[in-house]
Amino acid sequence: MVGTITFWHDTKAYGFLTVANGDQFFFHITQFKEKDHKPVRGAICSFALGKPIADGKKIQAIDVRFAHPHEVGLRTLSDAGVVALIAGNASEAGAS
């Protein structure tokens, strides 16, 4: 699945991903697989759905990582720069 980080609480290390139909999925920093970066609000991410963390809880997002351009319908390197900027990687996008 692909969604956007619409909420991130840096101190408590959790956030929510929102998909196109408006559904939201909780994720914890332990499920964020980009070890050299931290989650940021507005980043487009790919993820899978895991089991609820407890009975009565909603399904959570697992294996969360920044989306590759092809996962969000981008085809050019300049479009890929947009994803890098959204993910907070301005140097990768060629921005100064």
Please count the other Cβ atoms lying within 10 Å of the Cβ belonging to residue 32.
24
Domain 2-93 architecture: Beta Barrel (2.40)
- Note the pLDDT of residue 79: 46
* Model confidence at 93: pLDDT above 50: no
Is this structure's pTM higher than 0.85? no
pLDDT digits (tens, 9 = 90+) for 57-91: 889 999 999 987 666 665 544 444 454 454 444 44
Domain ranges, ordered by start, for the chain = 2-93
